[in-house]
Structure 1
Amino acid sequence: MSHHLSGPNLRSPRGDARLDLTDLFAFPASDAPGRTVLIMDVNPYAPTQAAEFHPDAVYRINIDNDGDNRADVAYSFTFAGSRTGGQTVTVHRATGAAAQKHEATGEVVFADVPVAFGDAPDVVDAGDRRLSVGLRSDPFFADLEGIVNDFTWTGKDAMAEANIFGIALEVPDADLGPDPVIGVWARVSLHQDGQLVSVDRGAHPSLTAYFNAEEVKDAYNAGEPADDWDTYHEPWTAVLQHTGDYTTVAATETLKLVLPDILRYDRSRPAAYPNGRTLSDDVTSARLAMVSGGKITSDHVPPHTDLLPTFPHLGHPHPTP
């Protein structure tokens, strides 16, 4: 899966779907030049496993705009209230040193915006920024049954009727830095016992599922991208050598595309994974080709057709089973 069930033993982090980062996207706005859309999805199979955002969590999208693999700009999303009483989201924008802390600090750019749990998305504008948060159709597509069954393809999209909680933010490019090349990653942290603990993080799709042993997933989710190469390039090289018959040199070059786990996006070029990521990019096939050394090139599942042409782009939610 893209980043669904990213805790140990194919479970959500801490066994809590509210804390489960599922996907991250970065692409240009559809109806205005010079603007970027950032989408962070959480809560797989919503709302059956969790009906609202976690009120003690900080959901965050980080931006590196100088190439040092550390956050220079960060948007933090925190939630208050409940689904039954009306849940709201507040968004902070931090820069500089404050962006490298996991707390929700900095300028408040949206305050107490209602979360949309119905069919229609609520889109709110604040100055030159746009926000939409709520229950949406899961854009990820993959033949998970075929992957688990030794790549015997079924043609079934495991996420065809699935929903997630989407956090969609549209900002002017100037918000993200002057250089067109940025790095993006997402994180979910939880306030617990007087501390803020990172429980999930990621950028590139389907890394932890293929590369991380169960016993290191919690440590990976708590880590910093700036440490990824030193920590993971050797064990991940061994994975590629096993799954795709890579040489050490070839594995090293391949892993440079995904380590550190930051999604690079050159805004002067068209967005298509791995340059950013759009909602219709076939990331499952890209990852299968990587781990198999090119032996498997596709799972033969097409993108979803329910995507919206305009912000927030995520499709209307499916009926709850």
Structure 2
Amino acid sequence: MSHHLSGPNLRSPMDDARLDLTDLFAFTVPGGRTVLIMNVHPLAPAAGAAFHPDAVYRIDVDMDGDDQADAAFSFVFSPAVDGRQTATVYWATGAQARSQEPGGQQIFTDVPVALGRDPHVAEAGPYLFSAGLRSDPFFADLDGILKDFQWTGVDWGADKNVLGIVLEIPSDELCPDPVIGVWARVSVRQDGRLKSVDRGAHPSLTAYFNADETKQTYNEGEPADDWATYSRPWTEVLRHTGGYDAHAAQEILRTVLPDILRFDRNQPARYPNGRSLTDDVTSTRLAMISGGKVAGDHIGPHTDLFLDFPYLGTPHPDPATG
């Protein structure tokens, strides 16, 4: 899977779907604008339909290539009461961007979260924001992958939902340089402190590369430490799964370590240069781990996406309620 169920034993971190990062997207749209999307909560609303009120959902932005956050967008949510919840969005820069705590300028305050079919779009000057239940854009023949690449032709994500966090801002206001790096993180407050329980940028890394006993450590880590920590064990994974020699494996890993999604906004978004909602990341990752022996899973992108904000499709009915 992409980044769904990124805790041990193919479960959500802390067994709480609200804390489960599923995907990160970064692309541009006409008018010189950058879109950042962070999806969480696989299988919503079957496992509930609200963001965690003690969590900080966060998108970090590296503007100078040093693998450190130079800007950070933090999203915090009120408790859900009678099916209603609100969101507040912070934009921090500089030293504040490297703190796990939400800080900086509040660019949206107490925006209603859309927990039904229709999105709620908030505007604040040139910024657009929406959070709530949406269809999951991730597509893959998951059963076929689990059956040693005996393809079923069934898209696991065709009827699934997530909770989406969508932000659109003028590209120059985010960063004048067209090249940025982004990653997402979910932290939850415990005993008065924030603990990172999930993080990622590139799709399907932890599913293929991290053993259960290392997933928590990975989720707590910082991208700046990724190469030193994971290049050697992940090289061994590629040697085993794809027959790579050490040099070839490390060359491949340079595209995903550190786990920061690089995006040259002067070029079209196409993974691994950013990521659009229709990029076939499953086939890309299968080809990578197999040394090209498995070219893809023959599943195409979803057709329920919107051409304009908030881009994510209308949520599917809850199977429990029809």
Q: Quickly name the TM-score band, shorter chain normalised.
A: over 0.9
2:150 is aligned to: 152
Q: 2:23, 2:40 within 8 Å by CA — same for their partners in 1?
A: yes
Q: 1:65, 1:176 within 8 Å by CA — same for their partners in 2?
A: no
Q: Deviations over 1:98-131 (max 9, x none)?
A: 1011111110000000000111111111011000
2:202 is aligned to: 204
Question: What SS class does the counterpart of residue 43 from structure 1 fall into?
Answer: strand
Q: 2:127, 2:169 within 8 Å by CA — same for their partners in 1?
A: yes
1:10 partnered with 2:43: no
- 5 Å-filtered alignment, 1:1-321, equals 1-29=1-29, 32-82=30-80, 84-321=82-319
Q: State percent identity of aligned pairs.
A: 66
Q: 1:246, 1:293 within 8 Å by CA — same for their partners in 2?
A: yes
Q: 2:28, 2:269 within 8 Å by CA — same for their partners in 1?
A: yes
CA distance in 2, matches of 1:244, 1:83: 50
Residue 190 of structure 1 and its aligned partner are, at CA, apart by: 0.4
CA distance in 2, matches of 1:72, 1:59: 17
Residue 280 of structure 1 and its aligned partner are, at CA, apart by: 0.3
Question: What SS class does the counterpart of residue 44 from structure 2 fall into?
Answer: coil
**Match for 2:199: what amino acid?**
R
Residues paired across the two proteins, number: 319
CA distance in 1, matches of 2:49, 2:163: 9
Q: 1:119, 1:317 within 8 Å by CA — same for their partners in 2?
A: yes
**Match for 2:12: what amino acid?**
S
Q: 2:49, 2:133 within 8 Å by CA — same for their partners in 1?
A: no
**Match for 2:11: what amino acid?**
R
Question: What SS class does the counterpart of residue 140 from structure 1 fall into?
Answer: coil
Q: Deviations over 1:51-96 (max 9, x none)?
A: 2100000000000000000100000000003152520000000000
When the two chains are superposed, the root-mean-square deviation of aligned CA atoms in Å is 0.7
Unpaired stretches in structure 1, ≥5 consecutive residues:
none
Question: What SS class does the counterpart of residue 44 from structure 1 fall into?
Answer: strand
CA distance in 1, matches of 2:37, 2:294: 29
**Match for 2:267: what amino acid?**
R
Inter-CA distance 268–83: structure 2 relative to 1 (3 Å threshold): farther
Q: 2:83, 2:115 within 8 Å by CA — same for their partners in 1?
A: no
CA distance in 2, matches of 1:84, 1:286: 42
Q: Deviations over 1:202-231 (max 9, x none)?
A: 000000000001000000000000000000
**TM-score, length basis structure 1:** 0.98
CA distance in 2, matches of 1:271, 1:51: 30
Question: What SS class does the counterpart of residue 163 from structure 2 fall into?
Answer: strand
Bigger drift between 113-122 and 228-237 goes to 113-122
**Match for 1:145: what amino acid?**
D
Question: What SS class does the counterpart of residue 45 from structure 1 fall into?
Answer: strand
CA distance in 1, matches of 2:84, 2:144: 40
**Match for 1:207: what amino acid?**
L
CA distance in 1, matches of 2:260, 2:317: 34
- The ranges of structure 1 where at least 4 consecutive aligned residues each deviate by more than 6 angstroms after the TM superposition are none
Q: 2:88, 2:108 within 8 Å by CA — same for their partners in 1?
A: yes
**Match for 1:24: what amino acid?**
L
Residue 174 of structure 1 and its aligned partner are, at CA, apart by: 2.0
**Match for 1:25: what amino acid?**
F
Q: Deviations over 1:21-53 (max 9, x none)?
A: 000000012xx3211000000000001113210
**Match for 1:3: what amino acid?**
H
**Match for 1:99: what amino acid?**
A
Question: What SS class does the counterpart of residue 219 from structure 2 fall into?
Answer: helix
Question: What SS class does the counterpart of residue 289 from structure 1 fall into?
Answer: helix
Q: 1:52, 1:83 within 8 Å by CA — same for their partners in 2?
A: no
